[in-house]
Structure 1
Amino acid sequence: MLSIQSTEQLTGARISGDFWDLDELINAIYKITGDENKYYDYQGARRRILSVCYNLRKAAKGEQQLEFVSNGLNKSILTQHELIFPNKNVYFAAEVLWPELIFTAIALNDFIRLHKELIDSSDWNIDVAAIRKFQAAVADCLEQELKEEEYLVFLRMLHTKSPLTFRYATQYVDVLNLEYIQLSLEERKAHLAAFALRLMLEDDEYVVLKSQLMEAAITTKKALHEIEIKANYPETILW
């Protein structure tokens, strides 16, 4: 079962599950985000989502964290079936910064909408269901960290603003990530809701950044999402 829990310092959340949980989510994300040339105005968001997906792939290969989770087997069951078997399963885990994870969950809404409009409108699509399960786990974890009124405001914004990531300057996610890393634990508790809303509000800081990026894109003849900003992440993050 896919699990998402906040890390000890509230720096981000830990996504964990067995190999098949992560494999299902990874494959669903690739199918729903589709070909980058198909959704040209969402290329930045797609690339950002796939960077999280890459971390999940590394986790599924055992390159990040391992957890051992009870599988429900007890001595009575093992004796009954005459089995010698471990009573814990291996879960693979990856940690993602909170602003990055919230953006990923939000952006996937747009790709689900595009997929339903252009590819498959069925309510029974198994890949959409897998992503909805992931989004629900993110939302459930976020709800535990926010005040009730903050969470309700976030949900209202999420349901009223669409599309959210059309021609989005995804470099702003780096700006928020770096700001968030610098906060203390108490500051993160106090301001996590504000960071979640800033991903949707397009505040003054976002508008200025996007304007600068658009100028650079025109000058260099590059796509908006290809313009790099100075984003020096620390070598070690205290999760």
Structure 2
Amino acid sequence: MLSITHTENFTGALISGDFWDLDEINQAVYAVVGDENKYYDWEGPRKRLLGVMVEIKNASKANRHVRFVGNGLNKETMKQHEIVGSEKNIYYSVEVLWPELIFTVIALNDFVRLYSKKHAYATLDVHVSTIRKFQSVVGEALQSVVPKEHHDQFMNLLSENQTNVQEYAIQFVDILNLNHINSTKEQREKNLGMIALKLAVQDKDYHAFRTQVLKSANETKSDIHDLSITKEYPEEIEW
């Protein structure tokens, strides 16, 4: 079963599951986001979404963390059914920065909305159902540390499709990621609710930042999603 828990220092979330759990969310996201340039105004969010999926894909190939989890099988059961098997399943996991993962579940709303317009019975679509489950598991993980008022507001925005990442200045996610990394453990835990709302609501700080990005894009004749920030991520992150 897919699970999401906080890392020790609240720097990020640990996404865990067996191969099929991780492959399922990967397949669902690729199906929903579509091919490159299918939704051009969402190209930036699409790139970030697929970046997270690459990490999950690598985890499913045992390129991140591996652990063994009891599966309920024991020696007596094996003897009863005359079988030989392992008493543990292999689970894979990978860390994702919290601001990045929060933006991921927000952006998925847009792609589910776009995908649903072209698919009959979209609410029962297997890929949509998988993504909704993923969003709910992220929401559940946040619930353990985010104040109820902030958590309720964030989940209402998600469930009522009141978020929009069209032509989003994705560099803002990098800024939040870096600020989160450079905060103390206590600050990270305390600020998660505010980060979630800042990404979902797009407050004045975001709009001021986006204006600067658009100015740079116009000066260099670049697309908004092609610009990179000058700050670099640390080589090692204390998760």
TM-score, normalised via structure 1 length: 0.95
**CA shift digits 1:61-98 (9 cap, x unpaired):** 11100021111101221111223322111011111011
Is residue 115–residue 121 contact of structure 1 (8 Å, CA) maintained in 2? no
Does structure 2 conserve the Cα–Cα contact (< 8 Å) formed by 1:110 and 1:162?
Answer: no
Q: In structure 1, how many angstroms separate the alpha carbons of the residues matched to 2:202 and 2:163?
A: 13
Q: How far 1:160 sits from its partner (Å)?
A: 5.5
Q: Name the CA distance, whole Å, in 2 between partners of 1:85 and 1:121.
A: 40
Structure 1 residue ranges without an equivalent (≥5): none
Name 2:41's counterpart in structure 1.
41
Taking the aligned partners of 2:115 and 2:82, their CA distance within structure 1 comes to 48
Report SS of the residue matched to 1:13. strand
For residues 170 and 120 of structure 2, the distance between their equivalents in structure 1, rounded to whole angstroms, comes to 27
8 Å Cα contact 2:67/2:92 also seen in 1 = yes
Cα deviation, residue 14, structure 1: 0.6
CA offsets 1:163-203 (integer angstroms, 9 cap, x no match): 42011101100000000111111111211111111112323
Match for residue 131 of structure 1? 131
Contact 1:214 1:224 in 2 (8 A): yes
1:72 is aligned to 72
Equivalence for 1:203: 203
* Whole-angstrom distance in 2 between the partners of 1:85 and 1:159: 42
User: Which residue is equivalent to 1:157?
Assistant: 157
Q: Deviations over 1:129-155 (max 9, x none)?
A: 111111111111111111222211222
Aligned residues of 1:116 and 1:122 also touching (Cα < 8 A): yes
Number of equivalenced pairs = 239
1:228 equivalent in structure 2: 228
Measured in 1, the distance between the counterparts of 2:184 and 2:139 equals 23
Pairing of 1:78-89 with structure 2 (within 5 A): 78-89=78-89
- Secondary structure at 2:95's aligned position in 1? strand
Q: Does residue 217 of the first structure (1) align with residue 217 of the second (2)?
A: yes
1:176 is matched by which residue type in structure 2?
L
Gaps in structure 2 of 5+ consecutive residues: none
Identity of aligned residues (%): 44
Structure 2 residue identity aligned to 1:165: V
Q: Which residue of 1 is the match for residue 142 of structure 2? A: 142
Counterparts of 1:4-43 in structure 2 under 5 Å? 4-43=4-43
Per-residue CA shift, 1:188-237, capped at 9, x if unaligned?
Answer: 12111111111123233322221121122122222100011113111111
- Cα distance in 1 for partners of 2:27, 2:189 equals 33
Opposite residue 195 of structure 1, the aligned amino acid is I
1:98 is matched with which residue?
98
Whether 1:114 and 2:108 are equivalent positions in the alignment is no
Contact 2:109 2:158 in 1 (8 A): no
Letter in 2 for 1:200: A
* Residue identity opposite 1:32 in structure 2: V
Question: What is the CA–CA distance in structure 2 between the aligned matches of 1:102 and 1:185, rounded to whole Å?
Answer: 18
Residue 182 in structure 1 maps to residue 182 in structure 2? yes
Q: Distance in 1 between matches of 2:179 and 2:121?
A: 39
RMSD of aligned C-alpha atoms?
1.5
Partners of 1:219 and 1:169 in 2: CA distance: 16
